[in-house]
Structure 1
Amino acid sequence: MTTDPAPATTVAAVPSPAGPTDSSTPATIAAAATDKTGGATVEFVALRRSFGATTALDGLDLTVNPGELVALLGPSGCGKTTALRMLAGFETPDSGQVLVDGEDVTHLPAHRRDAGMVFQSYSLFPHLNARDNVAFGLKMRKTGKAERHRRADELLELVGLPTHGDRYPHQLSGGQQQRIALARALALQPRVLLLDEPLSALDAKVRENLREEIRRLQQELGITTLFVTHDQEEALSMADRVAVMHAGRLEQCDTPAELYARPATAFVAEFVGTMNRIPGVLAGDGATVELFGQRLPVDGATELRGDVDALVRPENVLLTAGGGQGALVVGTTFLGATTRVTVQLPDGTAVKADLSTHDAAALPAGTGVTVSFPERPVLVDTRR
């Protein structure tokens, strides 16, 4: 069951109380936005929200620093969209607070949040051309026609569509429609930008190009941004920090490199990247684990004892031909410079190892191998 409610697709940007600026180029728009927002600080404090018997958020605590892009990453139903909607003003928590620059906005209506939101479904008005879609929020704020068209044209240039102002949504590709939606969200120079899986409806190449564009604009504007996604590649490639959520709780929030190299929990380790579970036995004090006769230090304290699973990335699995372990190569997958080699252990466990393609060529299917590991700490979890 998915606990994150469907987005309110008719809303794309929340009006700001501030008036229009006299900016006249994309560069001055970016400068004005940076000056205006100053990079807002966003805080979720002990947020709780349930929908009937389903708990969507279970005490969420998270701080987003000024000008930072934080990705909320997790499986469907983990609460990431619920958290975003609470910041936007579309949901009210059962308890807890939402703070923006120290101001409690928990119970403020959406139109007073000074936030811009971009949805997965674009949510463009089909009867308006691109220019008027971008300028819609300015029109609602009673900005004059000439001024709002000038601002809209500047934003169209900022998102790389300066010649598309007269086109209607049905005349635009998916990627172009999402750029228009982004320009509309930025038109009112919000303090916070909220992106709810904005790339998931696009094909792979367009998605890759647009995520680079969003990141460029976010850095240029210096705007605090929350980005909801279930795609780990998007999160790791775009975010300053990634907040991994599971069952309404924050498992870990860290830089992409730290999250991948030093996951705090077994869930994070397996959700971010590929992870092997390899049977092992903990020493009596729980400080080391034995894998195929090799002792490795345990990463962090554990109350587990006896039989466990060690969590090891494929690039940290070493293979050499021969040996008496009974491990057998059962398949290979070419990945370019590296090849993923799948090895079956005597108990039936499949282990993946990422080797250079040159080294993997010497280990075709059917080769008996010895499995070993670098001398570095590993996470352990309950044996499955």
Structure 2
Amino acid sequence: MSLTASAPTANGAPAPADAATVELRGLRRSFGTTTALDGLDLTVRPGELLALLGPSGCGKTTALRMLAGFEHPDSGEILVDGEDVTAVPAHRRDAGMVFQSYSLFPHLNALDNVAFGLRMRRIRTSERRTRAAELLELVGLADRGDRYPHQLSGGQQQRVALARALALRPRVLLLDEPLSALDAKVRLTLREEIRRLQQELGITTLFITHDQEEALSMADRVAVMRAGRLEQCAAPAELYARPATAFVAEFVGTMSRIPGRLRASDATVAVLGRHLAVDGAPPSIGGAADVDVLVRPESLGVTIAEDGEGRVVGTSFLGATVRVTVALADGTRVKADVPAHDAGRLAPGTPVHLSLPDRPVLVAPRTP
């Protein structure tokens, strides 16, 4: 794979000259009465790693399988570097795919598993073995080439699967929840390795996951899906700090709902004894309405106050911080993060005052 630099990727690093641009345009797909994709539009930039994130059934796996050529849309287009590949069969898509289940051949050792696709393309034995050995070294398994899948750990098997996907030097790499079957420690190590390899090779990558931490830590951009549609696609920091919709706000990270009163005339909301500007477009109302203000735990201040609007009902130790759960007078439960060294005073039953920083807040219609 050529590493000649061209346009920058989403993270600012130069992308290889042969890094592909992938475009999904208006993809629709239904299975009986179930709509899997409902007009999905998405662009993956050259050399970036884009994560598709969303709840089960949101359509992310269907989108990935369409890009791989395993599923076909009812309507819409799939383009790679401007070329329409919607009708191109999977074996001619020039895409490498890593599955959740590894899918290694049990009767082949690691080296032969990596070389399998090269053998199918009738690459000379010496060349394919050399390339397979180089890829095993790239994924840290240079000394495991003679091992069979049952002799490898889950993390090692997934590295072999990744090397096999890269052996054909694909223009696009597709990762279908490749870490979900691994334990937490191995997942952390392997996701760092995948990210390192992806950046080193500069290959355009679409990564499917339901794990928020995985998506936010690995991806250049994260696309959040819901019911077959794209809710927001942005860099992890922007997605977390400035969610475009209430769904994104609550799906990515932890979010508390605090009762407020929206005033449409000046797009402000009364919450916790203050009036704050609304972030983004407020819900369409005639004059004023009860709403929920969406707040991250780290954005809330907690101080002991006899006349406070809530009482501590529980705490959870998170290391440097402690998550404090506060019950308001109407029964609403709000989560706030405080430094661990300050949390000792906040025992259950302690009356407290909650405070918000002076910046716009996101609001959503009041939930029953």
After TM superposition, the score normalised by the length of structure 1 is 0.90
Q: 1:78 aligned to 54, 58, 63, which one?
A: 58
Deviations 1:54-79 (A, max 9, x none): 00000101111000100000000000
Q: Which residue of 1 aligns with 2:335?
A: 352
Q: Does the residue aligned with 2:357 lie in a helix, a strand or coil?
A: coil
Q: Which residue of 2 aligns with 1:51?
A: 31
Q: Which residue of 2 aligns with 1:333?
A: 316
Q: Which residue of 2 aligns with 1:7?
A: none
Q: Which residue of 1 aligns with 2:348?
A: 365
Mapped partners of 1:90, 1:173: distance in 2:
28
The CA deviation at 1:233 is 0.5
Mapped partners of 1:310, 1:32: distance in 2:
48
Asked if residue 263 in structure 1 is aligned to residue 225 in structure 2, the reply is no
Mapped partners of 1:315, 1:363: distance in 2:
16
Mapped partners of 1:173, 1:262: distance in 2:
40
Kindly report which structure 2 residues correspond to 1:127-138, keeping only aligned pairs within 5 A, or say none.
127-138=107-118
Q: Does the residue aligned with 1:214 lie in a helix, a strand or coil?
A: helix
Q: Which moved more, 1:322-331 or 1:332-341?
A: 322-331
Q: Which residue of 2 aligns with 1:97?
A: 77
Q: Which residue of 2 aligns with 1:374?
A: 357
Q: 1:274 aligned to 250, 254, 260, which one?
A: 254
Mapped partners of 1:241, 1:36: distance in 2:
18
Mapped partners of 2:74, 2:349: distance in 1:
58
Contact 2:26 2:77 survives alignment (8 Å): yes
Give the letter aligned to residue 247 of structure 1: A
User: Between the two proteins, what is the percent identity of the paired residues?
Assistant: 74
Q: 2:227 aligned to 240, 247, 253, which one?
A: 247
Deviations 1:54-110 (A, max 9, x none): 000001011110001000000000000000011000111011100000000001001
Kindly report which structure 2 residues correspond to 1:315-334, keeping only aligned pairs within 5 A, or say none.
315-334=298-317
Contact 1:36 1:191 survives alignment (8 Å): no
RMSD: 1.5
Mapped partners of 1:361, 1:61: distance in 2:
49
Contact 1:73 1:232 survives alignment (8 Å): yes
Kindly report which structure 2 residues correspond to 1:184-223, keeping only aligned pairs within 5 A, or say none.
184-223=164-203
Q: Which moved more, 1:50-59 or 1:294-303?
A: 294-303
What runs of 5+ residues in structure 1 fail to find an aligned partner?
1-28
Matched residue count: 356
Kindly report which structure 2 residues correspond to 1:301-312, keeping only aligned pairs within 5 A, or say none.
301-302=281-282, 303-304=284-285, 305-312=288-295
Contact 2:277 2:359 survives alignment (8 Å): yes
Q: 2:278 aligned to 294, 298, 321, which one?
A: 298
Contact 1:286 1:298 survives alignment (8 Å): no
Q: Does the residue aligned with 1:177 lie in a helix, a strand or coil?
A: helix
Q: Which residue of 1 aligns with 2:10?
A: none
Give the letter aligned to residue 170 of structure 2: P
Give the letter aligned to residue 313 of structure 1: R
Q: Which residue of 2 aligns with 1:123?
A: 103
Mapped partners of 2:237, 2:21: distance in 1:
23
Contact 2:27 2:39 survives alignment (8 Å): yes
Give the letter aligned to residue 239 of structure 1: A
Contact 1:243 1:252 survives alignment (8 Å): yes
What runs of 5+ residues in structure 2 fail to find an aligned partner?
7-14
